[in-house]
Amino acid sequence: MQKHSSPWPILLIYLACALATLTLWRQAQVNIPTGDEPHYMVMANGLARHGALEQTIPYQDAKQPGQPERFGLPPADDHSIAGPRGRFNLHNLGLPLLLALPFTLGGILGAKLFMILCGAGVVLCAWQISGLFSSEAGARRLAVLAGCIAAPLVPAASQVYPDILGGLLALTGLYWFLTTQQRRSAAAELALAVAVVYLPWLQIKFGPACALLVLAVAAKIHRESGDRRRVVRLLAAAAVSCVALAAYNQYAFGKMSGPYQDNAVEVSRTSLMVLMGLHFDQNQGFLMQNPINLLGLLGVGWLYRANRPFLLLWAAVFATLIVPNSLHPAWYGGWSFTGRFGWPAAVVFMVPTLYALLELSRRRRPLFLALAWLSVALQAYFFYCYAVDKVGMFNRGWETPLASYSMYYGRLHAWLPALYNGDWAFAYRPNYAWLAMVLLLLAAGFARGARRRWVGAAALGAV
C-alpha cells in the first residue's frame, strides 16, 4: 500500500523555476512570443472577444494601432488560409479554445501562465505514476525532481504551443491505462476520456496516439471488468470528438483532414537525421537536454519485463509522438525553441526514466542518490544558462558553425552528437558513437544476467 505523501514540494520547485525563468526573460525582453505563438493568441482572442472561428476580424483586430504588441504579432504576418466559408487559421483549434479565457484576462502573460500550469500538470502526473512504481516518498521526490524539473520542461513551460500539453494528455492516458482497476466515479472517468480524446484537437498528428490510448484503455477495462458502460462512455467520447473535429475541418477547409497539404511529410536522409537528432542531438535531443533520460533507455527493458502490455502501448504512443515530427519539412520546428518537436515524446519518456530511477533506488541506493543529485546539479547549471545567462533558445540554422552550435555544453561540443546539417551529419563520427551508446543502453535493459553487464560495459565504452 502507498504511503500518504504530497507532491507539493516538487510542484513548488517546478513553479519557482518556471516563473523565475519567465520573469527573467520578460525583464530582459528575450524569448518573446514569435513564430506560431502570436497566431494561437489571435485565435484565442477571436473566440473570446468576437466569438469568431473565421479569422478575418481577429487578424484585423490584432493589427490595429497598438495591438500587434499585445499579441507579439509582426505587422504583415497572417496564418489564415482561404476556405469555402472565409479565412480560417491553419493552426489547430484546441489550444486557442483553452487560451481564450487566460488571454482575455491577462494577455500574453495570462497565456504563458496558463501554459506553466499545464507544465505543473506534467509534474503532478509524473508524481502519480511514480507512486505506481514505488511507495518510498523520498525516492519518488528525488526521481521526479531529477526526471521532470529539468530541461526541456522548465524552459518550455511558458511557450504558447500545444506540444507540452499534448505530452501531458498522452501521459494522462498512459496513467489511466495503468490504473483502470481503481474505483472512480463516472464523472472522473469521463474527465479522463475527455483529456485523451482532446489530443487531435491540439494537433491532428496526435490522432494516432489518441486512437492507441482509447483502444488500449477500452480493451483493458473490458478484459478486467467486462463493464460495458465504462467502455461505451469512452468510445462515445472518442466518437463525439472525432466527428466534431471532422465537422469543423469540413466547414472551415472543405475537407475533414484539415488544412494539411501533401508536402507536409517528407521521408528522406534529412528526416532520418532529424529523427535521430530529436533523441540525441546535443541541442535538440531530449536525451541530451536531460541526460538522466539515458538511464530511461535501460528502464525501457526493465519495464518490459515488469509490465509487457503497458510497455508495448508506451512504445507505440512514444513512436507516434516523435516520428511524425521528424517527417515535417519545417525541420525541428522552424523558428521556435530548440527541441520543440521532441517535447511531447520527452514528456512521455519520463515514464521509463522514473521507473529506472526508482528501480535503481531499490537495487543500488547509493548509485541512485549519486546519479539523481548529479542530474539535479547539471540542471541547475542549465537553468543558469537559459534563465540567467540567457543563452539563445531558438533553433540554430544549418549554416551555424559547429563551434557556435552548442547551447549548454561549451568546449565539450566536439565530443557530442550534432545532427543539424545534412551535408556532413552522416560523416560526423561522434554521431555514430552516441547512436551506438543509445542502442547498447537500450539493449542492456532487455538483457539478463551476465549479458546485461557486457552490454552495459559496451555502452559505456561507446562514449
The confidence score (pLDDT) of residue 458 equals 45
The confidence score (pLDDT) of residue 459 equals 44
pLDDT (tens digit, 9 = 90+) per residue, 60-84? Answer: 999 888 777 788 888 778 999 999 9
Are residues 88 and 126 part of one domain?
no
Q: What is the mean pLDDT of the chain?
A: 94
Are residues 142 and 76 part of one domain?
no
Range 445-451 average pLDDT: 74
Are residues 75 and 189 part of one domain?
no
- Boundary of a domain, candidates 84, 111, 138: 111
Range 45-59 average pLDDT: 95
Domain membership of residue 321 (yes or no) is yes
Of the pLDDT bands very low, low, confident and very high (cuts 50, 70, 90), residue 462 is very low
The confidence score (pLDDT) of residue 1 equals 39
The confidence score (pLDDT) of residue 452 equals 56
Are residues 294 and 384 part of one domain?
yes
The range of the structural domain enclosing residue 64 comes to 27-111
Which of 417, 405, 333, 337 minimizes the C-alpha distance to 153?
Answer: 337
Are residues 123 and 176 part of one domain?
yes
pLDDT (tens digit, 9 = 90+) per residue, 137-184? Answer: 999 999 999 999 999 999 999 999 999 999 999 999 999 999 999 999
Torsion of the alpha carbons at 154, 315, 194 and 94, rounded to the nearest 10: 60
Domain membership of residue 230 (yes or no) is yes
Are residues 89 and 60 part of one domain?
yes
Domain membership of residue 357 (yes or no) is yes
The confidence score (pLDDT) of residue 461 equals 45
Question: When comparing pLDDT for 74 and 299, which is higher?
Answer: 299
pLDDT (tens digit, 9 = 90+) per residue, 179-237? Answer: 999 999 999 999 999 999 999 999 999 999 999 999 999 999 999 999 999 999 999 99
Are residues 135 and 83 part of one domain?
no
The confidence score (pLDDT) of residue 413 equals 97
Are residues 133 and 261 part of one domain?
yes
Joined together, the cell numbers standing for residue 284 give 535538440
- Boundary of a domain, candidates 53, 83, 111: 111
Domain membership of residue 276 (yes or no) is yes
Domain membership of residue 432 (yes or no) is no
Domain membership of residue 101 (yes or no) is yes
Residue that has been written with the C-alpha cell 518490459 in this structure: 304
Give dist(CA 218, CA 225) in Å, integer.
11
Are residues 68 and 151 part of one domain?
no
Instruction: Report cis status (omega within 30 of 0) of the bond before 152.
Output: yes
Compute CA distances 227 → 183, 184, 310, whole Å: 12, 13, 20
Are residues 286 and 172 part of one domain?
yes
DSSP 16-74: HHHHHHHHHHHHHT-S-S-TTHHHHHHHHHIIIII--SSSHHHHHHHTSTTHHHHHT--
Domain total of the chain: 2
pLDDT (tens digit, 9 = 90+) per residue, 336-373? Answer: 999 999 999 999 999 999 999 999 999 999 999 999 99
Percentage of the chain with pLDDT > 90?
89
Are residues 184 and 143 part of one domain?
yes
pLDDT (tens digit, 9 = 90+) per residue, 412-421? Answer: 999 999 999 9
